[in-house]
Structure 1
Amino acid sequence: MQAESAESWPDDAIEVGAIVDAYGLKGWVKVAAHANAGQGGDALLNAKRWWLLKGHERKSAPVEQSKVHSDSIVAQLGGLSDRDAALLLRGYSVHVRRGDFPSLGADEYYWVDLLGLDVVNEAGVELGKVADMIDNGAQSVLRIEYPATGKDGKPATGERLIPFVGVYVKTVDQTAKRIIVDWEADY
């Protein structure tokens, strides 16, 4: 286990889960991943080092072993040899470098890579920027924010929700930072 500072923290660190408990007696930790293995949680399994954050306290540790266990991921981190040491890490968020995420196939995207992209419709009308992604159980949904005017006449932020499915999402161009959709501004 190594202490880290804000300056030594990787620029491309992405939060992918949180340590929720110890696992077993030999220093393993149990992690609630933000995505299931095979759907982004595999970034936890792929990474060789995890960065841990709780409040202002930052640490990092090499991952000696990790695996899927039921609905969570369990891992043995370097420097942890018993249950008591693992219990001290409860509540830490787990971050991995974006570069440690496994490669995806064609037409597959990590949510983190879609955030901030401009969204335009096929007619070229700008609909806003991706502010968030939502999983409604059936599919992922783009949450788009755009500048609007409130009922009081003051500037406000409008919101559009567009299902992230092929019938609506026509092109995702990460290089141009743009998503083209079949969606009208007044929907």
Structure 2
Amino acid sequence: MVVLGRVIGPHGIRGQIKVTPFTEHIDGLMEYPVWWLSNDEKSWQIVHPTSFSVHDSLLIITLEEYSDRTNASGLKGWLIAVPRSQLPQLSEDGKEGYYWSDLIGISVVNTQGEFIGTVAGLFETGANDVLRIQLPGGKEELIPFVDQVVRQVDMRSRQIMVDWELDY
């Protein structure tokens, strides 16, 4: 399974959910007619999204299987995934591209070889994408995911090199 989003809570009284997508385009999740939901990444529940709307960086989703807020509120924090077999095949080295979900957990180092942290997530701002980096001390830092900053993404060694100082 490839995780493509997370449920952040219910929306309204008719069982809709608010979703943070991990896709390149905010509505990319809607390309898949069937989703798998899990709160532990071990057991998965199949659901069918029937409609959506975009609100800032979130999706408001109606699922066929949920019709009231009480049931939908139990999905808070659950992951949304699809089988990797449903996604376009990419090379293992990342030269053809990579899925955002594959970047989660990758080490981030600067051009001086200093460890900055690990990728905790990504999000789209409209102007550019942003890496959420978990720093060793537990804090989080945001780094623009643009060519001027991200020098190399090496999927084989699971490392991203950035032109970024430790004290930015």
Q: With the length of structure 1 as denominator, give the TM-score of the two structures.
A: 0.57
Structure 1 gap segments, 5+ residues each: 1-10, 24-28, 78-84, 148-155
Structure 2 gap segments, 5+ residues each: 91-95
Give 1:145 deviation, angstroms. 3.6
Residue 34 of structure 1 pairs with residue 20 of structure 2 = yes
Q: Within 5 Å, give how 1:80-159 maps onto structure 2.
A: 86-87=67-68, 88-93=70-75, 94-99=78-83, 102-103=87-88, 106-107=96-97, 109-110=99-100, 112-133=101-122, 138-147=127-136, 156-157=137-138, 159=140
* 2:34 aligned residue: 48
Q: Percent identity?
A: 24
Letter aligned with residue 52 of structure 2: V
Instruction: Note the alpha carbon deviations across 1:121-162, whole angstroms, 9 max, x for none.
Output: 223232222234455564333233444xxxxxxxx4465432
CA distance in 2 between counterparts of 1:170 and 1:113 reads 18
* 1:168 aligned residue: 149
Give 1:91 deviation, angstroms. 0.5
Q: Describe the shift of the 1:180–1:36 C-alpha distance in structure 2 as closer, same or farther (beyond 3 A).
A: closer
Structure number, greater radius of gyration: 1
Letter aligned with residue 11 of structure 2: V
**Secondary structure of 1:89's match?**
helix
CA distance in 1 between counterparts of 2:30 and 2:79 reads 8
**Secondary structure of 1:86's match?**
coil
Q: With the length of structure 2 as denominator, give the TM-score of the two structures.
A: 0.62
* Aligned residue pairs, count: 151
Q: Within 5 Å, give how 1:15-34 maps onto structure 2.
A: 16-17=6-7, 18-21=9-12, 23=14, 29-34=15-20
CA distance in 1 between counterparts of 2:24 and 2:120 reads 24
CA distance in 1 between counterparts of 2:165 and 2:24 reads 33
Larger proportion of strand: 1
| RMSD between aligned residues | 3.8
